[in-house]
Chains A and B, each alone.
Chain A
Amino acid sequence: MAEPHPDNAHHDAQHGAQHEAIARWERRWLNAAGLLLVLFIVLVAYSLATEGGHIAQRSGRTSPERLSELELFATPGVTVTNLGAGRAPEVQVSVVAQSYAFNPAEILLPVGAVATFYLTSRDTQHGFQVQGTNINVQLIPGEISTFTYTFRDPGVYRVTCNEYCGIGHHNMLATIRVLYPGDLAAASAPATEGDAAAAGHAVGEGVYTANCAGCHGAAGEGVAGAFPPLAEGHVAELVAAERTYLPNVLLYGLEGPIQVRGTTYNGQMPAWSALTDEELSETMNYLMSGWGDDAALPDFAPYTPDEVAALRETPLSAQDVHAQRQGLLGN
């Protein structure tokens, strides 16, 4: 067994010279390493001083259940404060993240605007990273993050959630469109052509695509074991059995295993009460009409915003909704 013998160092002349050379290089190396790190630190400090300002800071704290009480997050989106006033427009952007969508899912900004962002999460941790910029913020329930950024180039920027937030995490994306003021007006104007039903359908489809398709699939096909299918008449069955169930699921979420046609699904449904009454009613109407479920229920009367508003009066828990679900369809 070769035990170490630190005391038996070699001491002949050749090795002595070798070791002196090594010691000399060692000092040079150490000096160079120290200088290198000092250089890095100076470079970091320099770029912070010249281009800093977009680094996320805490703007405040709030418990996620009380988000809607804050004016900032009651209706998230873009507020332009002085567009066309002869100087760089100032914009306030509030964003609420929730598995698996950002609200709003599309942010329209005037080019050159000084945009101050306020972001938070309603449920679990998320990320907010904007492609091609150095915007990258951790969204933590209970924390409100803020930073200011100026978009100088028009274009479409991809926003990704870069923190794991559950099974649909990879489909949590959004877009920022930076437009010239003229294009901005056209893009933000509500659709005026077509009848009200078509406009409602577009609202429902938009909400579904942004918030629901990540789990339930673009065509409502679902994911075995986790997220039930919405197509194939399943929504029609539920609506026929109990009309209040569907709005309750959307408003309050669902927690616990359910059975659909012999298959168990056990993914958690988040609560979507942050969406408006109209968005929720149009989404449900889209679920009925999007894949032909309404054919199975010819006398279906479309949901109205008032029905949703009425159900907001009696708050339920996700477990309560599960209990309501268990009473339907005989399972």
Chain B
Amino acid sequence: MAVSTAALPRVGSAHPEKRVTLAFLVTGLLALLVGALLGPLQAFNYAGINLYDDLPFLRSYYQGLTLHGVLNAFVFTTFFISGILLYLPARELGVRPDMTLAWGSYAVMVAGLVLAGWAVLTNTSSVLYTFYPPLQGHWAFYLGLTLVVLASTAVGFETIRMRARWKRQNPGRVTPLVTYMSVTTWLMWWLATTGIVLEMLFLLLPWSFGLIGGVDPELARTLFWWTGHPIVYFWVLPAYVSWYAFLPEQAGGELVSDSLARLAFIMFLLFSTPVGFHHQFTDPGIPAAWKITHSLLTMMVGIPSLLTAFTVGASLELGGRRRGGRGLLGWIPKLPWRDASFTAQVLAMISFIFGGAGGIVLASFNLNILLHNTAWIPGHFHITVGTATTLTFLGLTFWLVPHLVHKPLFAPRLALASAWAWFVGMMIFALGMHWQGYLAVPRRAQISALSGNWQGAYVDAAVPMAITGLSGAVLLVAIVLYFTVLFGTLFSRRKLSDDEVPAIPFARAAELRSEGILKVLDTLRAWFALAVLLVVVAYAPTVISMWLDQVPVPGVRLW
């Protein structure tokens, strides 16, 4: 597949990494298509409308929910991020990735997707996205997910190696920004995935193969959330890459501070992982002192996001003023709102303001107890990963797919409409779900199929339930619009000439701090070591004592 084209001049067609990137992106987006189409059914369920039991190809609401969660939050994100965080640094550095490793990782990831997808579609593994034991799925489900994770870490390995090669060729120079952000994200992901890899290799895989009779559910939960929280930063940091590195250019301005962008990513490297207990505040098996420690560390992760809000906001303002905007807010209407890629990403950022605020609520030890496992949680993550990340990625594809396939964007006005519909739909969904959660309606429950004696149990939440149902209809429109644009672009018969192909919109940095600060921030090995140390301090005492005091519980299949 990777024909050697090194002798050709550096034009678009001379980049074999474009094809592997396109493969990662399109596979991820197809997973999103299937996963997202199930979403409105979930929204209707929360309006008391039960359509699941009429579907011929799914056995239950919970099978559909497993598919929705795994395909959207796990498969789509991992494929898409592997594609862009390999490609963008490669182009920034002018370095070619090892194509064998890139295609090999893609093949392993697809194999993982096929295994896990088969397990879910045959209803052997309706264990939901969190797959908490002792609910026991098929071994193919666990093996498939493990392969997807390991393949993504291999892509990260290649990106880190590309930076090392560039460093050797450019001694003394500071890593360019996109590469810096990508490598930091991959280092964070390595640290984050340790938890789930331990859970898979030592607990779930041997258990599902029948080698051990049971697993300790509390230990498994703890290892899951070791990965399960930082995975949200693995989703959101690639969006930050685009907000910092491309959006200022798309807005007609420049990035106001290169060094603050780097500082934010270093803070994410340090504080993303040692925070997982804030998903386990209601767990009996974790001492309160450690829960509070993780709660405080979670608050620390708020800082780089607030930094980002300032830096990106100021960069956009700079763009609006360069386009002739005057006065306090006069720069806002001057921004390129007709540009679907720009608008999608700004709407994604707006959703993240609310998502971040809701996240601070969840991180707060005692507020969390009111909301743990309620409908608030899906409300929260649909405006973080479901909009801040996903809508940014959709916005990226509006220039990236034409850039990769050398074809024009199909129906740019439909693209713009799809971005607005996604944003509006998700904001309505979030309103309904946060509100229901506040009224103690549980998350991921088929409340549209309550049995006779419990009918009316949630009648106090009728208004937010109706709001959630409305969002399902809006989001269905958004999905149809977006995928019309995507397939229209991919299958377009028009070819762009080389000078029409959109370039990667790398933004200039307006301001630089002293070289000294950049050099300190560029010592990624040292920062990574510090991050490892923080994770060891935050996790080792609890995980070791759990490991030594296990109460294994046999598996059950209850679907």
Contacts and interface: CB of A to CB of B under 8 A. Distances in A.
Contacts of B446: 169-170
A199 interface: no
B34 interface: no
Interface in A135-157: 136-138, 140-146
Contacts of A123: 134, 556, 558
A304 interface: no
Contacts of A2: 249, 503-506
Nearest to A171: B451
Nearest to B445: A170
**Complex A-B, nearest 3 residue pairs according to Cβ-Cβ distance, in ascending order:** A166-B558, A218-B452, A142-B551
Given A37-B300, A47-B366, 10 more contacts: A4-B177, A19-B256, A26-B260, A48-B366, A99-B556, A143-B218, A160-B440, A161-B442, A166-B558, A268-B558
Given A57-B288, A136-B370, A129 B442 contact: yes
5 contacts: A4-B507, A22-B314, A99-B556, A165-B135, A218-B452
Nearest to B518: A6
Interface string B458-498: 00000000000000000000000000000000000000000
A124 B307 CA distance: 42
Contacts of B307: 30, 33
Contacts of A225: 59
B284 A9 contact: no
B410 interface: no
A51 B453 CA distance: 35
A140 B373 contact: no
A127 interface: yes
Interface of B: 10, 59-60, 62, 91-92, 94, 126, 128, 130, 132, 134-135, 176-178, 216-218, 221, 245, 249, 254, 256-258, 260, 280-285, 288, 295-296, 299-300, 302-303, 306-307, 310-311, 314, 318, 360, 364-367, 369-370, 372-374, 439-447, 449-454, 457, 503-512, 549, 551, 553, 556-559
Interface stretch (A209-217, A240-248, A288-296): A209-217
B134 A169 contact: no
A180 to B, nearest CB: 24
Interface stretch (A60-68, A76-84, A183-191, A274-282): A60-68
Contacts of A9: 508-512
A29 B372 contact: no
Contacts of B296: 41
Nearest to A163: B373
Contacts of B59: 225-226
Contact of B306 (A29, A55, A62, A213): A29
A209 B453 CA distance: 7
B134 A138 contact: no
A41 B132 CA distance: 31
A129 B370 CA distance: 9
Contact of A124 (B134, B254, B451): B134
B442 A160 contact: yes
Contacts of B441: 160
A34 B296 CA distance: 13
A233 B91 CA distance: 71
Nearest to A225: B59
Contacts of A213: 451-453
Nearest to A119: B284
Nearest to A125: B132
A57 B256 CA distance: 48
B459 to A, nearest CB: 10
A138 B280 contact: yes
Interface in A1-42: 1-10, 15, 18-19, 22-23, 25-26, 29-30, 33-34, 36-37, 40-41
Given A26-B260, A140-B284, A218 B451 contact: yes
A146 to B, nearest CB: 8
B558 A167 contact: yes
Contact of A129 (B94, B128, B373, B447): B373
B556 A59 contact: no
A1 B551 CA distance: 59
A163 B449 CA distance: 17
Given A213-B453, A225-B59, A52 B135 contact: no
A167 B64 CA distance: 12
A19 B440 contact: no
Interface residues of A, number: 87
Contacts of A170: 442, 445-447, 449-450
Contact of A37 (B302, B372, B442): B302
Contacts of A140: 217-218, 221, 283-285
A314 interface: no
Interface string A250-290: 00000100000000000110100000000000000000000
Contacts of B364: 40, 43-44
A73 to B, nearest CB: 15
A166 B559 contact: yes
A132 interface: yes
Nearest to B315: A22
A10 B53 CA distance: 62
A137 B457 contact: no
B62 A167 contact: yes
Contacts of B370: 134, 136
A62 B310 contact: no
B450 A171 contact: yes
Contacts of A47: 366
B60 A226 contact: yes
A92 interface: no
B60 A132 contact: no
A36 B260 CA distance: 19
A136 B362 CA distance: 14
Contacts of A160: 440-442, 445, 457
A226 B445 CA distance: 17
Contact of A142 (B216, B295, B508): B216
A63 B553 contact: yes
A321 interface: no
Contacts of B453: 209, 213, 218
A56 interface: yes
Contacts of A270: 556, 558
B182 to A, nearest CB: 13
Nearest to A60: B284
Given A125-B132, A127-B373, A225-B59, A134 B366 contact: yes
Given A136-B372, A164-B128, A173-B454, A143 B310 contact: no
B94 to A, nearest CB: 8
B553 A142 contact: yes
Contacts of B130: 164
Contact of A19 (B62, B285, B510): B510
B284 A138 contact: yes
A324 interface: no
B250 to A, nearest CB: 12
B335 to A, nearest CB: 17
Contact of A136 (B94, B369, B447, B505): B369
